[in-house]
Amino acid sequence: MKTIEYYMNLPYRLELVPDTDEGGFVASYPELRGCLTSGEDGVLQWTGLHPGLRYRLTEVKAPEGFKLLTETAFTGTLPADTLSVELTVVNARTFTMPETGAVSGAVLRVLGLATAISCLCMLSVLSRKRH
């Protein structure tokens, strides 16, 4: 369980709203507006959602090395009987070019440049000897 210090130190504006149903206060971060980040297991859980309201789950940042979803992951209402929706979202890995031949290409370019400079120097020396 997180402490009050944890929530007070988050880099967002914290609003304390009176809880008229249960008494006390409810903490709210207006900048976040329902944004959640999944843990290593990829599981997200919300509390305080109401049946009959329309919800949309959108990925705004993909994990490192994966593509961002092009469509919303979920759009719909919560069923009144279970108040839960289970869905699986699969991100595709991004394509990266293999690093084969990267070093040998650089070596060949340096050797080619050195050969070209040597040829130019030899041509310059030979042209001076003729004149």
In the predicted model, is pLDDT for residue 1 greater than 60? no
| pTM of structure | 0.43
What are the start-end ranges of the H helices in the chain?
A: 4-8, 102-130
Q: Kindly indicate the confidence band of residue 108, based on its pLDDT and cuts at 50, 70 and 90.
A: confident
What percentage of the chain has pLDDT greater than the value 90?
Answer: 8
Q: What is d(CA 71, CA 66) in angstroms, rounded to the nearest whole number? A: 15
- pLDDT band with cut points at 50, 70 and 90 for residue 26: low
How many residues in total does the chain contain? 131
- Backbone angles phi and psi of 42, in degrees to 5: 80, 10
Query: H or E segment at 18?
Result: strand 15-18
pLDDT-based confidence at residue 33 (cuts at 50, 70, 90): low
pLDDT in tens, 52-92: 767 778 787 888 888 888 888 888 887 778 777 788 888 88
Residue carrying the six token digits 């999944």: 38
Measured in degrees and rounded to the nearest 5, phi and psi for residue 35 equal: -75, 135
Q: Can you give the pLDDT at residue 116?
A: 93
